[in-house]
Structure 1
Amino acid sequence: MTLGVRAACFDAQGRVFLVRHTYISGWHMPGGGVERGETGLQALHKEIREEGNLVAASSPQLFHVYFNNRTSDRDHILFYRLEVTQTAPKVPDREISESGFFPLNALPEGTTGATRRRLAELAGETPPDDYW
């Protein structure tokens, strides 16, 4: 089994932080794989720091665990929600081409379907699905 983390990171204005990777299309919530010897929360904090210069301003809350069968037949994602602050603007690098905070009613064009579904679930508009 492989395990990853993703996070809905909200700033003080209620905007969600999204990233656009250099190697895959669309806007996504920050996240990545949980490495050997690393906890889910350690991976979460590492990924939001690396992908957005973000630090937790609240305790991360595990929202749901999803089966990501689009990646493989054994991948699972721990999905968290938390409030964050940004220590410095994220400069594009070899992994992240763009990033920023967006109002929920004005997500950027190209926001992935999975990202939109997770935000709808968080808002209580739909029940959580078990598949990413």
Structure 2
Amino acid sequence: MTDEPLRATISLRGVVFRPDERVLILKRTTDGGWELPGGRIDEGESVEVGVCREITEETSLDVTVDEPVYSLTWRNDDGHGRFAVYYRCEATEYDVSVSPEHDEFAWARLPAARSRLSDPQGTAVDRAWDGHEP
């Protein structure tokens, strides 16, 4: 046990699937890296509402939020604590309009999505896919 607990900002991300086994990834405008849609939860906001709100803000999509599939903690480059929870989501539409935070999107097949994402986000994609029901 550590002497000091991690104080962390909480973020929620969606692993958004289409029925054709493609997952939504977004390219950040800040550094050109790829990520899953999501962001920080607001105070007093339910998890499902927060995940849906963040995905809608970043993509204009309405999604169905399923169960959490992965979570992790870390410290960023500035030493600030972070806690992320990834949820499996299903898209009900596929026409994406990205927010100014992103300049590109892709409905990628699983291997291509994994290769563009960070290791933790790739793990979230794998776990979300492993838990799906065809």
TM over 0.5: same fold?
yes
Per-residue deviation, residues 93-132 of structure 1 (Å, max 9, x unmatched):
42111012111133386433332232233345xxxxxxxx
Give, as a single letter, the amino acid of the residue that structure 1 aligns with 2:84.
I
What is the DSSP-based 3-state SS (H/G/I as helix, E as strand, rest coil) of the residue aligned with 2:75?
coil
Opposite residue 15 of structure 1, the aligned amino acid is R
- What do you get for the CA RMSD once the two structures are aligned? 2.3
Query: 1 or 2, which has the higher helix percentage?
Result: 2
Q: Residues 52 and 86 of structure 1 are in contact (CA less than 8 Å); yes or no, is this contact kept in structure 2? A: no
Taking the aligned partners of 1:52 and 1:97, their CA distance within structure 2 comes to: 11
**TM alignment of 1:56-67, pairs within 5 A:** 56=63, 58-67=64-73
Structure 1: unaligned runs, 5 residues or longer:
125-132
Q: With the length of structure 2 as denominator, give the TM-score of the two structures.
A: 0.75
Q: Is residue 97 from structure 1 mapped to residue 103 from structure 2 by the alignment?
A: yes
SS of the residue 2:32 aligns to? coil
The reply on whether 1:43 has 2:43 as its aligned counterpart is no
Give how far 1:51 is off. Answer: 1.4
Q: How many residues align?
A: 122
Structure exhibiting the larger radius of gyration computed from Cα positions: 2
Taking structure 1 as the reference length, the TM-score comes to 0.76
CA apart distance, 1:4: 0.7
Structure 2: give runs of 5+ residues left out of the alignment.
1-7
1:120 maps onto 2:120 in alignment? no
